[in-house]
Structure formats: structure tokens, C-alpha cells
């Protein structure tokens, strides 16, 4: 009787995956820790420790359920240190005729597996069913549309799933969107909830030591590691969020704090993307909290929109457009990444704090990623590849299917407006309105010219000027180009000179792969 090897990748830790529920009794289930996955970009040590520990706990749970499980540890002598060759080695070891795997979340692996389909043992890829919208459904939705907008996709998803819909299939509260209620800056004295603490058990401690030895040179600290590594812990984090943070999620969704990295955000993206939680159960928990009156509708809707809307939308865009999407660079951005992205060593307070939080927690919330580190890179003209490699490396939740559209599309506008209707470029004024950083910064956010002027200001105008041809025709940019065009030529020249001087004196990392991009960090 034929015997399959069922490969479970590090972000596929879901017990009811079809490859597992459909496995015959004699199947061998296999998980592999390999160097290659930790190094294709220099992943944050917390991300690697999170995945290895979650994989080890998952393997234990599968054994307890009666599966025969093979587990390759990182420092096993016969480990080939590459996922594909490890699967083929282990398939031979157990005399397996074929290898079955849930379709990977990144093109690079998907492509490699596809190319091995005619090999022996034969590889089979099974559709990943952990999303609301299958790729076929997304492709059909996209067909014939000139421009895609997340809002249209989201409304369709709401109708399809019935989430937050009334009996007539209309949106609850008679509105699709509560964004006007959701842009409040932070009040002075806030006390966001502390995240639940997960004491690392023996298994996690062993993994942390292993990661320190093998990946201790990567950007980021392991100290204070506090991510959920089992489904039980992830459910605990979900319940904690629903009870303590969701009631304020909407109001302060866009706010940035100098002190509180998580504010009222869920911290669930790592667990969701690794498969410890299902998006449906997360959205249902949020909807139930609204139904029982413990959470206002603007908060529940704002949260469900992120998961049912943005998360599904960016995944659809990724698979619809890969591999070509990754090559897009419509604004012809050509700078390397500023070196301080790997150190936090900058006087710009907002950037310093976002990077320090990233170093300490493998986390920064959406607005920090979009409007601080993202906005700055956009204004500087950082190459998409350089910025994407950084985002893919440093966050607990980063996988290319979700990172790439967010970075290349939403942040860098490198797809020419395919994903978002306008670039999210902003001057220091935006950061000042939404955060308490500027009061503690050596630069003056009200100034655009001079040694102590906030660099975001001149960079902003210089960006608009550089890209006038591509952007001035955009309806949503009309107002701002009106202001630029009203500016005197002397002022424009002074802003341009200020921005160029600033860009010239920045240190940049060497192009990735052409030097030691972590040199500044060590
Ligand atoms: P919350 O703010 O509490 O949101 C709830 C959930 O909604 C998240 O857990 C996440 O699953 C989902 N979500 C929210 N915004 C987005 C979005 N724009 N795209 C997809 N899902 C979203 N998210 C990732 O999961 N992986 C990434 O690699 C990633 N890279 C990003 C890169 C950039 C440049 C930007 C601007 C955003 C990126 N995001 C990414 C989206 C978002 O920043 C994170 O999902 C969010 O910060 C995770 O924290 P949280 O769980 O506290 O989210
Ligand atoms: C991110 C990651 C890392 C660091 N290590 C492993 C690993 O050793 N073994 C594994 O199966 N998966 C790992 N992953 C997750 C994979 O990179 C992920 O499955 C692919 O990028 C597809 O999304």
C-alpha cells in the first residue's frame, strides 16, 4: 500500500488542514527546521524562535493524536538545511511514494515545488483552505475590473460570509465603514492593557538557546520573548484582546505612542499567519463581542475589516500577480535602505522608536509600518527590493504573500496605484497629529528649512515635486499639488536643497547580497 509523506511547513500549524484530515493511517507527518528558511532574509530571532517552538509543540500535539511524526531539528547531523531536499531525504528514509504539502504562502517555495512535480517521489500541492476567499474566487472577482479597490472586495466578502450583516443582508449599523470615528489621536494619559504573559516552557527555552547560537547575529533581541507558541496560548491572547483592547481598537487604530508598542492592537498576526488561529474564529469572536454589547460597532467593524478585507485582499493581489509583481518599481526608486533601519540610530524620534520596538518585540503596528518607516522610505526613494527584504525579515508575522503587497504596493506605490488609490506620503505634520513623538524629538516638526527642521517636511515636498508627472493627475492628490504649485520658486528651491542635503548625508546599507548589510548593527 502506498505511503505518503505529509509535509507541514512552519506557517501551516493548523490541525484540521486537509492534508492532515485526509491522510491515510500509514502516513508520516514531517516538520523540518532548516537554516535556509531562517537566512533567505535575516529573520528576527523572535520570529525564528516563535516558529520553531510552535512547530515543536505542534508536532507533540500531532503525536498525541496518534500521527506518526518525523521532526528534523536544526542541529540534527543529517539535516540538509533546505526544505525541499529535507522532504525528499525523509521521504526516502520512510519509504514514502509521494510528498503532500499544503500550497506554500510564498512564491519562491511554490515555484520550487512546482518544478519538482515530475520527480520521484512525486510532490502534490493541496489548496490552503485557511482563507475566506479562495484564489479562484478572487481571480473571478478581479476579472474584467480595471482598478481594484479593497472597499469593493470587502463589501463582497461581508455579503458572502454574512459577517456583521443583518437579516436583509445589509451592513449592521446601516454603514459599511466607521472610519470617521476611528482616527482619534491619543489622549495624554492612556493605559492600554498589558499583553498576557506566556512564561517560556522547557521547549521554548531550548529553542531560544538554539536560535541564539545559529541566528544571534540577526537584527533583534530574544529578550522578553512573549509570543503564543500553542493554539491554547493563541486563543488566550484572542480572548484577552477581545475583552481588554477591542473596545478601544477602532478609536485609536491610527494612533502612535512613544511608549506603548501595542496600544489597542490585537498582536494576533503572528498566530494567524502561522495557523494557530483561524481568521473566521477571530472575526466571529469580535462579532459576538459586539452582539453581547461589550464592544462598540465601530471597533468591531474596524477590526473585521482588517482581517476579512485587507488580509484577504492583499493575498489575492499577491497570487494574482506573482512573480511579476515583485519586479515592479514604477516610481523608479533607486536608493539603498538607510543603515539606521538595522540599528535605530537616528535622531528622528518617530523612526528611532518604531525601529527600537521592532528590535525588541519583532512588532510595530500598522501605522508605524505605513506612516513612519514606510513613509520615510517612500519619501527617500528606497528601492522596493531593499525595503521589502527588511519588512520580510523583521516582523513576527512576515510572509511574502502579505508583506509584499503592503510594502511594494501600499507603502511604495511601486505598482502605480494597482493596490492603493494614492501614495501614503505625509509630512511631519501627520506624525505630530497622530503621535506624541515630536515633543521629544530634536527636530522641530513646524520647520521645513534649517538644521533643526523635521526632515519629513522637505522630503515630502521634494517627493511630490520629483513625481509630479506620475501623481499630479490623481484626483486625490489635486489639493496638495495645488499647494505645491502655489509655492514660490525660492521656497521650492530651498526645500529641494534641504532634502537633497539630508539624503546625501544619510548612511545607506550596501545593496543586499553585495556586502554586510548588518555591519552597522553589530
Ligand atoms: P491589528 O492592527 O490588531 O489588526 C488585526 C489583524 O488584521 C492583524 O492581525 C492582521 O491579520 C490583519 N491586518 C491588519 N492590517 C493588515 C494589512 N494591511 N494587511 C494584511 N492584514 C492586515 N501583516 C502581516 O500579517 N504580515 C506582514 O508581513 C505585514 N507586513 C506589512 C508591511 C507593511 C509595510 C505594512 C504597512 C503593513 C504590513 N502588515 C503585515 C499589516 C499590518 O501592519 C499587520 O498585520 C499588523 O500590524 C499586525 O499587528 P496586529 O495583529 O496587532 O494587528
Ligand atoms: C519563516 C520560517 C523559518 C524562519 N523557518 C522555517 C523552518 O525552519 N521550517 C519551515 O517549515 N518553515 C520555516 N519558516 C516558514 C517558511 O518560510 C514558510 O512556510 C514559507 O515562507 C511559506 O510561507
- Percent residues over pLDDT 90 in the chain: 92
Question: What CA–CA distance (Å, rounded) separates 426 from 455?
Answer: 11
**Ligand 2 neighbourhood includes 312 CB (under 6 angstroms):** no
**pLDDT tens, 262-317?**
999 999 999 999 999 999 999 999 999 999 999 999 999 999 999 999 999 999 99
Give, using CA atoms, the residue closest to atom 8 of ligand 1.
269
| pLDDT higher than threshold 80 for residue 476 | yes
Question: What CA–CA distance (Å, rounded) separates 429 from 450?
Answer: 17
Ligand nearest to the CA of 410: 1
For ligand 2, what atom is nearest to the CA of residue 35? 8
- Percent residues over pLDDT 70 in the chain: 98
Cβ-contact 384, 414 below 8 angstroms:
yes
Question: Which of 18-22, 144-148, 489-493 is predicted least confidently?
Answer: 144-148
Give, using CA atoms, the residue closest to atom 29 of ligand 1.
403
| pLDDT higher than threshold 50 for residue 520 | no
**Ligand 2 neighbourhood includes 399 CB (under 6 angstroms):** yes
| pLDDT higher than threshold 50 for residue 138 | yes
Q: Which helix (H) or strand (E) holds 6?
A: strand 4-7
Give, using CA atoms, the residue closest to atom 44 of ligand 1.
366
CATH, range 4-126: 3.40.50.620
Q: How is domain 327-517 classified at the CATH fold level?
A: DNA Cyclobutane Dipyrimidine Photolyase, subunit A; domain 3 (1.10.579)
What residue has cell string 540534527? 76
| DSSP-based three-state secondary structure for 115 | helix
Q: Do domains 135-321 and 327-517 have the same CATH topology?
A: no
Cβ-contact 356, 344 below 8 angstroms:
yes
Q: How confident is the model at residue 157 (pLDDT cuts 50, 70, 90)?
A: very high
Burial class (CB in 10 A: 0-12, 13-18, 19+), 470: middle
Query: Which of 6, 7, 10, when mutated, tests ligand 2's pocket best, judged by the most ligand atoms within 8 Å of its CB?
Result: 10
pLDDT at 169: 94
Average pLDDT, rounded, for the chain: 95
Q: Which among 322, 354, 320 has a CA at the least distance from the CA of 340? A: 354
Q: How confident is the model at residue 522 (pLDDT cuts 50, 70, 90)?
A: very low
Ligand nearest to the CA of 273: 1
Ligand nearest to the CA of 214: 2
Q: Cα(226) to centroid of ligand 1, in Å?
A: 18
Looking at the DSSP bridge assignments, the partners of residue 453 are 444
The DSSP annotation for 45-84 comes to: HHHHHHHHHHHHHHHHHHHHTT-EEEEE-TT-TT--SSHH
For ligand 2, what atom is nearest to the CA of residue 34? 8
Burial class (CB in 10 A: 0-12, 13-18, 19+), 223: exposed
pLDDT at 510: 81
Cβ-contact 276, 295 below 8 angstroms:
no
Single pTM value for the model: 0.97
Give, using CA atoms, the residue closest to atom 17 of ligand 2.
37
Q: Cα(10) to centroid of ligand 2, in Å?
A: 5
**Ligand 1 neighbourhood includes 403 CB (under 6 angstroms):** yes
**Ligand 1 neighbourhood includes 375 CB (under 6 angstroms):** no
Segment 115-137 mean pLDDT: 94
Q: Cα(37) to centroid of ligand 2, in Å?
A: 5
**Ligand 1 neighbourhood includes 266 CB (under 6 angstroms):** yes
Give, using CA atoms, the residue closest to atom 41 of ligand 1.
366
Segment 38-45 mean pLDDT: 97
Q: Cα(410) to centroid of ligand 1, in Å?
A: 12
Ligand nearest to the CA of 314: 1
Give, using CA atoms, the residue closest to atom 7 of ligand 2.
33
Give, using CA atoms, the residue closest to atom 4 of ligand 2.
38
Q: Which helix (H) or strand (E) holds 139?
A: helix 135-142
Ligand nearest to the CA of 261: 1
Cβ-contact 29, 20 below 8 angstroms:
yes
Q: Cα(403) to centroid of ligand 2, in Å?
A: 14
Cβ-contact 448, 498 below 8 angstroms:
yes
Segment 204-209 mean pLDDT: 98
Domain boundaries, the chain: 4-126, 135-321, 327-517
The architecture in CATH of the region 135-321 reads Alpha Horseshoe (1.25)
Q: Give the number of C-alpha atoms closer than 13 A to the C-alpha of residue 255, restricted to the C-beta side.
A: 24
Amino acid at each position: 500500500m502506498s505511503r505518503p509523506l505529509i509535509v507541514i511547513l512552519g506557517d501551516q500549524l493548523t490541525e484540521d488542514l486537509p492534508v492532515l484530515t485526509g491522510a491515510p493511517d500509514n502516513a508520516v507527518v514531517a516538520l523540518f527546521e532548516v537554516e535556509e528558511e531562517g537566512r533567505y532574509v535575516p529573520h528576527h530571532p523572535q520570529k525564528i524562535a516563535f516558529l520553531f517552538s510552535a512547530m515543536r509543540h505542534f508536532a507533540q500535539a500531532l503525536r498525541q493524536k496518534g500521527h506518526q511524526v518525523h521532526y528534523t531539528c536544526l542541529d540534527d547531523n543529517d539535516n540538509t538545511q533546505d526544505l525541499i531536499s529535507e522532504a525528499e531525504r525523509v521521504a526516502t528514509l520512510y519509504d514514502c511514494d509521494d510528498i503532500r504539502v499544503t500550497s506554500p504562502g510564498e512564491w519562491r517555495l511554490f515555484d520550487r515545488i512546482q518544478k519538482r512535480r515530475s520527480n520521484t517521489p512525486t510532490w502534490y500541492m493541496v489548496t490552503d483552505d485557511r482563507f475566506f476567499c479562495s484564489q479562484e474566487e478572487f481571480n473571478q472577482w478581479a476579472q474584467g475590473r480595471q482598478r481594484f479597490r479593497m472597499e469593493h472586495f470587502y463589501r463582497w466578502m461581508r455579503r458572502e460570509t454574512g459577517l456583521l450583516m443583518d437579516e436583509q443582508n445589509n451592513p449592521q449599523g446601516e454603514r459599511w465603514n466607521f472610519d470617521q470615528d476611528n482616527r482619534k489621536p491619543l489622549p495624554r494619559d492612556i493605559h492600554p492593557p498589558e499583553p498576557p504573559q506566556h512564561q517560556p516552557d522547557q521547549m521554548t527555552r531550548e529553542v531560544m538557546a538554539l536560535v541564539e547560537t545559529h541566528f544571534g547575529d540577526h537584527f533583534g533581541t530574544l529578550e522578553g520573548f512573549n509570543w503564543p507558541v500553542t493554539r491554547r496560548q493563541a486563543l488566550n491572547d484572542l480572548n484577552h484582546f477581545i475583552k481588554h483592547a477591542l473596545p478601544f481598537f477602532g478609536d485609536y487604530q491610527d494612533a502612535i505612542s512613544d511608549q506603548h508598542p501595542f496600544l489597542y492592537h490585537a498582536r494576533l498576526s503572528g498566530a494567524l499567519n502561522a495557523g494557530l488561529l483561524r481568521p473566521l474564529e477571530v472575526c466571529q469572536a469580535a462579532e459576538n463581542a459586539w452582539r453581547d454589547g461589550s464592544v462598540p460597532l465601530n471597533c468591531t467593524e474596524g477590526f473585521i475589516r482588517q482581517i476579512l478585507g485587507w488580509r484577504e485582499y492583499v493575498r489575492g493581489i499577491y497570487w494574482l500577480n506573482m512573480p511579476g509583481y515583485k519586479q515592479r518599481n514604477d516610481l523608479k526608486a533607486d536608493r539603498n535602505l538607510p543603515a539606521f533601519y538595522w540599528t535605530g540610530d537616528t535622531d528622528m524620534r518617530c523612526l528611532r522608536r518604531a525601529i527600537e520596538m521592532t528590535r525588541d518585540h519583532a512588532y510595530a503596528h500598522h501605522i508605524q509600518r505605513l506612516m513612519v518607516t514606510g513613509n520615510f522610505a517612500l519619501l527617500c526613494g528606497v528601492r522596493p527590493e531593499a525595503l521589502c527584504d527588511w519588512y520580510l525579515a523583521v516582523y513576527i508575522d512576515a510572509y511574502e504573500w502579505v508583506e509584499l503587497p503592503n510594502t511594494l504596493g501600499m507603502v511604495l506605490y511601486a505598482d502605480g496605484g494597482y493596490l492603493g488609490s494614492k501614495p501614503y506620503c505625509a509630512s511631519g505634520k501627520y506624525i505630530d497629529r497622530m503621535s506624541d513623538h515630536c515633543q521629544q524629538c530634536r527636530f522641530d516638526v513646524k520647520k521645513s528649512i534649517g538644521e533643526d527642521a523635521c526632515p519629513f517636511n522637505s522630503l515630502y515636498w521634494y517627493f511630490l515635486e520629483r513625481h509630479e508627472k506620475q501623481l499630479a493627475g490623481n484626483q486625490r492628490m489635486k489639493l496638495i499639488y495645488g499647494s505645491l504649485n502655489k509655492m514660490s520658486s525660492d521656497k521650492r528651491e530651498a526645500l529641494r536643497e534641504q532634502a537633497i542635503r539630508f539624503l546625501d548625508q544619510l548612511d545607506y546599507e550596501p545593496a543586499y547580497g553585495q556586502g554586510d548589510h548588518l555591519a552597522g548593527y553589530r
